[in-house]
């Protein structure tokens, strides 16, 4: 039996995940509805596993992973999420996530993931790896590690050929902020200051 913390800002998902994990014989040590609470409770309770959503108020799941890099605690993180984007998955993997489960398949595979993680193994949804045609030698993989979570999300949307205005609306930020992120991404990827250079790179390296 493992002590498990769960964090999700959707009450029905939170309670459903709690009920399911308890049915597997594990103990839920904490339920959190936002990222800041989840991070603080992980430090305080040091659960065996933290099952985290990515999109949460206060602090997202990727940011929690980043901050935990500097904490000497044994908690292993499983991301339970709707996100199946290449860039986000690669960032989570680079930060040492132990499990990555797509919510739409969670009832079928979450038990398998928890068992693997408790055995000090990593486990990622097969539907995710199949969709992304995952290759650990992906040409853009190392370069993507230079980008922040926000930049990864933006380049994912650029690769899907959304305009800056559309991206701003989708992410609830200003168009100027999107343009600033685009400039930062181009510098980090060492791309030439040419029209569509970022779009062409994103289409080639991000989308499938």
pLDDT tens for 78-97 read 999 988 777 788 889 889 99
Would residue 137 count as lying in a domain? no
Would residue 12 count as lying in a domain? yes
User: How do residues 137-196 score in pLDDT, each as one tens digit?
Assistant: 444 556 777 888 889 889 989 988 899 999 999 888 999 999 999 999 998 888 887 778
Last residue of a domain, one of 74, 106, 132: 132
Contact predicate 88/62, CB 8 Å: yes
For residue 141, which phi and psi values (nearest 5 degrees)?
-55, -50
Last residue of a domain, one of 110, 132, 154: 132
pLDDT for 5 beyond 90: yes
The residues near 177 (Cβ < 8 Å, ≥ 6 apart) are 168
pLDDT for 14 beyond 80: yes
Residue 132: pLDDT band by 50, 70, 90 thresholds? low
Same-domain check for residues 150 and 107: no
Average pLDDT, whole number, for the chain? 87
Instruction: Determine the structural domain holding residue 178 and report its residue range.
Output: 142-205
The residues near 192 (Cβ < 8 Å, ≥ 6 apart) are none
The least confident of 30-34, 124-128, 175-179 is 124-128
Same-domain check for residues 102 and 177: no
Q: How far is CA 147 from CA 113, 115, 153, in A?
A: 27, 31, 10
Q: Looking at residue 206, what is its pLDDT?
A: 72
> Rounded CA gap, 3 and 117, in Å?
13
Same-domain check for residues 123 and 169: no
3-class secondary structure, 133? coil
Same-domain check for residues 106 and 24: yes
Number of domains in the chain: 2
> Rounded CA gap, 188 and 190, in Å?
5
> Rounded CA gap, 171 and 71, in Å?
30
């Amino acid at each position: 039996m493992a002590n498990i913390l769960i964090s999700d800002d959707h009450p029905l998902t939170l309670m459903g995940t709690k009920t399911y994990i308890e049915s597997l014989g594990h103990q839920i040590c904490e339920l959190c509805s936002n990222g800041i609470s989840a991070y603080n409770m992980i430090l305080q309770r040091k659960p065996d596993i933290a099952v985290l959503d990515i999109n949460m108020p206060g602090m997202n799941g990727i940011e929690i992973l980043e901050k935990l890099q500097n904490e000497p605690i044994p908690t292993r993180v499983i991301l339970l999420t709707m996100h199946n984007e290449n860039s986000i998955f690669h960032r989570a993997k680079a930060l040492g996530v132990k499990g990555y489960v797509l919510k739409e398949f969670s009832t079928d595979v979450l038990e398998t993931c928890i068992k693997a993680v408790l055995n000090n193994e990593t486990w990622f949804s097969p539907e995710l790896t199949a969709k992304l045609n995952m290759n650990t030698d992906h040409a853009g993989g190392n370069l993507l590690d230079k980008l922040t979570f926000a930049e990864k999300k933006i380049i994912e949307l650029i690769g899907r050929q959304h305009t800056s205005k559309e991206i701003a609306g989708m992410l609830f930020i200003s168009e100027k902020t999107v343009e600033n992120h685009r400039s930062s991404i181009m510098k980090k990827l060492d791309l030439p200051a040419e029209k569509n250079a970022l779009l062409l790179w994103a289409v080639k390296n991000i989308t499938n």
